[in-house]
Amino acid sequence: MPTRLWTEITPSLTPWVLEAIESQGFKKMTPVQASVIPLFCGNKDVVVEAVTGSGKTLAFLIPVIERILKIEEPLKPGQTHSVIISPTRELAQQIYQVLTSVLKFCSDEKLPNGKKRRLVRAQLVIGGEKTSHSDVQVFMSRIPNILIGTPGRLLELLNSPQTKLAQVDSMVLDEADRLLELGFDISVKTIIGMLPQQKRAGLFSATMSDAVNDIAQIGLRNPFRISVKVSGNDSQLDRRVPLSLGISYAIITPDKKLPLLLDMIQKESFKKVIVYLPTCNGVNYFYHLLTFLLSDNSLVGESLTHKNLHSLHGKLIPSARKKSLEKFTSSVSKSVLLTTDVAARGLDIPDVDLVIQYDPPADHNVFLHRSGRAGRAGKKGNSVVFLNEGNEEGYVDFMSVKMVDMHQYNVNIANLPDPYANDNIRNWMLKDRTRFDMAVKAYVSYVRFYSKHTATSIFRFYNFDFIKNAIGYGLFRLPGMPELKTISSESLPKDGWLGPPVNMEEYAYLNEKKEKERQKQLKEKQKEETLKEKKSKEKQKPIWIERKENAEKRREKRKIRHEAKLRNNQNATSSDDEATVEDWKDLVRERKGKKAKTVSSFEDL
């Protein structure tokens, strides 16, 4: 078994690297670090499969640094030593932050102009904040040894005419399975093809699919395959969950999910909690709803306020995503992060000791990644998933087959807070139509997420409770959607109302601009309806009236044609008379002419 002590690694680590590791409190290596670092430092390619929270980031950063330190020839502008590819901006930023914390202990090198710069330098290459042109400018001026970024933006930089790749010594694919899930396979293969064949490469992934193995065959040469799992105390079976992480499930009806979430936020002991929702629209809506509910101390107490609530999802602009994640990460008080699966992979956020999954993900592997945000690096953590009563209990057995054991979380329905009491949520929503729009979008996107769930034997859409889920989303009316056509009208409330009807024409936006636009659209709609009604009434006339009107129209047309014909005949007659008169006059003149000639001839005699 490889040594777990940092000082006993062969080949030995550089003193300042050991100092950096010690400063972060890592006394011993994790199993994946102990297995990977000696091989990767010693000119071996590695393919690593490891459970979440196993310390993979340092397992590839340390060998990359050590390999760079052994290269004697200095870099020239346009050159680099290592390329690290990450599936998301957030994970790339995290890798960069970990690397920066290590490089603080790096010694400086003296330049010919007398200035100094750090011996090992890094550059973060991600979209959203800077243009690709500025990436090239930084690359040429800083001359980084290590490039860390997402596939698309890295490919743009590597394709630049100013970039020279002959000096690249190592490449790392982090969360390789996620890279392929997000459709980056072509970009990754293109980058691999651009790099020198003699490079060392490391592929790190939580799962090993056929697609991941294909990438390994293309980019790695005779790699060592390392699989690090956790053995349970009661059996020798491999488990996919760290021993420090406890996973439980709560059986609950859809309309009680929100009360249970508020109850856990209030009563559970935690420093930071991540709440996973299935859609971006869901995160956006519940962020605004919980911001309102957290202002009511009777629901959650005074230990948590809306200032401690954060949101993160893929539709946020990059700067907002970065700001939200930084606030949550740096928070020293009890905090809650609402997010989608954008924060399910690779992110190492300190002090997260509780994960709540509002709904199970479509992919069971994502379930483990979500849960793994807690209980990292040997620290204790808990994860709770909400399962809908009557439909989804089979998910427990399903995950057991996947080597993930869960115990039941006890729910006392009678003691749950009631955010719906006194029309609390309804009144909040009625103050601004924007809130209702957000709720509708969140609900519709959730219904469509559920309808496309991969585990259809457990998440049966034909058993989906539209009404209780709508109540759980705070809606006072079911939205019109094609999915509702699958159930009988008898099972639905009249006109979709889940409470007292609301005059939707008078239901206004607080935003004046949006309200003016709504009023304009309302007037246009009313005009269209008036025209439709008029046409509809015309179509609804009795047949005998319609026939009578048609007969009158035909008679009118015949009359017009007859009058036109008479006019034409009169014109023709008058023309003939005029022609006859002209002919008579010509005849008279001709006869007079002949008579005149006759008289003239008698005179001649």
What are 154-176's pLDDT values in tens digits? Answer: 999 999 999 999 999 999 999 88
Residue 411: closest CA among 256, 288, 193, 535? 256
pLDDT value of position 594: 62
pLDDT value of position 578: 58
pLDDT over threshold 50, residue 411? yes
Chain segment 313-344, per-residue pLDDT in tens:
988 888 888 899 889 988 888 899 999 988 87
pLDDT over threshold 50, residue 107? yes
pLDDT value of position 603: 46
pLDDT over threshold 70, residue 604? no
Chain segment 44-85, per-residue pLDDT in tens:
999 998 766 678 899 999 999 999 999 888 899 999 999 999
pLDDT value of position 314: 87
CB 66 within 8 A of CB 89: no
Query: What 3-state class would DSSP assign to 354?
Result: strand
pLDDT over threshold 60, residue 467? yes
In this prediction, residues 545-565 reach a mean pLDDT of: 86
In this prediction, residues 472-479 reach a mean pLDDT of: 95
Residue 342: closest CA among 360, 323, 319, 325? 325
Q: Which residues contact 132 (CB under 8 A, 6 or more apart)?
A: 153, 156, 157
- For 238-426+456-468, CATH gives 3.40.50.300
pLDDT value of position 377: 64
pLDDT over threshold 80, residue 583? no
Confidence at 205, pLDDT banded by 50, 70, 90: confident
Number of H helices, E strands in the chain: 20, 18
Q: What amino acid is encoded at 572 in this protein? A: A
In this prediction, residues 87-105 reach a mean pLDDT of: 92
pLDDT over threshold 90, residue 221? no
Confidence at 576, pLDDT banded by 50, 70, 90: low
Q: Where in the chain is the domain with CATH 3.40.50.300?
A: 6-228, 238-426+456-468
pLDDT over threshold 70, residue 181? yes
Across-strand partners of 272? 335, 352
Q: Which residues contact 79 (CB under 8 A, 6 or more apart)?
A: 143, 164, 165, 166, 167
More confident residue, 368 or 545: 368
More confident residue, 304 or 368: 368
pLDDT value of position 243: 73
pLDDT value of position 1: 52
Q: Does domain 6-228 have CATH number 3.40.50.300?
A: yes
Per-chain mean pLDDT for the chain: 86
pLDDT over threshold 60, residue 8? yes
More confident residue, 349 or 284: 284
Alpha carbon distance 218, 274 (integer Å): 37
More confident residue, 321 or 298: 321
For the chain, how many residues are written?
605
In this prediction, residues 395-419 reach a mean pLDDT of: 91
Percentage of the chain surpassing pLDDT 70? 88
Lowest mean per-residue pLDDT among 228-242, 353-367, 577-591: 228-242
CB 97 within 8 A of CB 121: no
In this prediction, residues 248-259 reach a mean pLDDT of: 95
Lowest mean per-residue pLDDT among 31-45, 93-107, 223-237, 283-297: 223-237
Chain segment 428-462, per-residue pLDDT in tens:
999 999 999 999 999 999 999 999 888 888 999 98
CB 218 within 8 A of CB 192: yes
pLDDT value of position 299: 65
More confident residue, 268 or 241: 268
pLDDT over threshold 50, residue 584? yes
Residue 37: closest CA among 52, 53, 15, 58? 58
In this prediction, residues 135-139 reach a mean pLDDT of: 94
